[in-house]
Structure 1
Amino acid sequence: MLNMNFVTKTAAATALGLALVAQTAWAETKIRVQSVIPLSADETIMLQDFAKDVSDLTNGEVVFEVLAAGTVVGVQETLDAVDSGLIEGGFAWTHYWSGKHPAAMLFGSPVAGAGVGMDNIAFMSWFLYGGGKELYDQLWDEMGVNVKGFMLQPAGPEALGWFKEPINSMEDFRKYRFRTPPGIPGQTYKDIGIASVAMGGGDILPALEKGTIDAAEWCCPKPDSVFGFQKVLKHYYLQGLHQVVVNADIYINKDVFNSLTPLQQKAIEVAANASLMKSMAYRIRENGLALDKLVNEDGVILHDTPVDYFSEYMNAANKALETNAAENAFFKTVWDSQKDFARTAIPFWAGSQTSNANLGRAYADQLKKK
């Protein structure tokens, strides 16, 4: 005769086993990502969008929790904290870590378009199809950090910046203590006689209000207006060379990344690649709206950058690139790769984009006449 008690116990055990299997299959991996900027910044908003894509693609198995700058460690300790596993992830611009390796600049903000005319779209072509991604993966080994990086948010060209008074020449520019990015882009300003001061984004407005600096750059109309620079400075220059290309990235502790399933890893990669396009599209719309408000509501005066800036900065940037290539083998490898790509890609891309630039300029001029 069938033992019903045995059947009941067996069924219960089977159900428990299936529940445990289901629980294991749907276990959530939480990756805390500390940003180097406030949660209100546009870049952090786009990071949250990337995080949602990953969660959706993995059915909630991989969840990114975005933390504000300074939540666990200081901004400058972000990458080290990811490396050690103190936090599972970080969000910043790779040129922030140029002190660990000079080649970080060639990925985060290749000064003056790496000296080969790359804009943010051409840079993405090099990164995805010209060997850049493989070199980017190698960068972390060159730095000696236990990190897996993903490029998320290309931008550029960034604005020259904000000033108290109009600048009509480099002689005028040199009168100001100017916030710049860290690494070679900022050093290049020093090389042409600018009093360059590197600091994090959240420190810029307080420094302007205190008079520690009296001119500044950060990014573009929308991020700049979020930080509130228009409250203290009214003269704005859109055309700059220091960050014609700039990329914000997410860094994940490599042990944490390797613990994910291949499908979860692929979801992060796919979401990151989607973010490259989504962030460029987002920025064009948001920066256009922000610039319109800055000029028509906030009293900001838009200027063209002095002509002598371009030759001085470009010449100094090329010298910096050549010096670093001579001193560091991996830097040279990356820069050579960018130059090899640019030899054929840039003549095509620059030539074809001339029509777009002229068309856009003509329309902008029409709007001015209305």
Structure 2
Amino acid sequence: MKLLHIADLHIGKRVNEFNMIEDQKYILEQILRITDGEKPDGVLIAGDVYDKSQPSAEAVELLDEFLTQLTAFGQPVFMISGNHDSPERLSFGSRIMQKNGLHIAGVFDGVLQKVTLEDEHGIVNIYLLPFLKPAMVKPFFEQSIESYDEAVRAVISAAEINTQERNILLAHQFVMDGAQQPERSESESLSVGGLDNVDVSAFEAFDYVALGHLHRPQGIGRDTVRYAGSPLKYSFSEARHQKSATLLELGVKGELSIHQLPLIPLHDLREIKGPIAELLRIGREETKSAEDYIHATLTDEEEIYDAIGQLRQVYPNLMVLDFENSRTGQAVFSQIAASCDVSRKSPMDLFAAFYQIQNNNELTPEQVRVMERIFEQAGGAGA
């Protein structure tokens, strides 16, 4: 039996205010071609289907088109909600869709949903566990449930998994192997203090755990507890990731092989660094890759007139521009954005912060007085 595992589609996501819907449409069409070519016996979609709990109309339309074409191949599709999804919205019409082979676990109703498939080696049980918080699980169990780990273990224990059969679980949680942290990306939702941790030992009853939540493809504890990763790069911390879909091949109980099928984006997401003249030269010579989503860091020592305008003539999808030279020692603009809440700062405070980072020196008292007079004449230096 073959199963295709994908996750974290984040349909409708914007990256640095760039609408990714065309890139998502392109990559979903690629997943459809993979499905048509590999002809898996089922497709597993492990949560964060949408990027927001209230998705845009174009996001809903794209998911509808994708699922319609996916189910038309004739194999069952299994989908769970993630922490970005609205479980209720994702579950809408699920009983009607089930008749067409689309099985959705959006809202947790106290029971671990199970669908049974069969091949020449016997039964394969597909369990669907939507994203869980302790508060979602407490109403259905008498024992004390305070942590994410306790919530997941309680639900799995109540399902009474038959470990003599082959069992597959879809889940969307932050899974750890003891104290070992998996690799996370900036585009993922983070919780403070590791409150959302679930230990990998909670999944011992399953032959394979199809995880969603982390955007880098990786196994946790054992290779058969696996994050498929997102199909697209959604932050520059993912610039060096190779995105893929995961294909499982199950034989008899205990026999399972895993293959990574590369996904090639419409536009890659890359980081480039160097003097502006050199970056412009490279972009003009490599016109196709110049249309990628770019984070550029300029290392020129001299001031550059309209750096963004110059770069966008060659790199139309420039997302982020930083400067790094002997005066700054680090990226300027992104540091300002990260270091303060702009909405709560006065123009004078913002200028002082910019000057400090740009010149590696604070304003002198005389410079402060001059700037305060300028801001007063322009309409006030207050917040």
Q: Structure 1 length as normaliser, TM-score? A: 0.26
Q: Structure 2 length as normaliser, TM-score? A: 0.25
Which structure's residues are more often helix, by fraction?
1
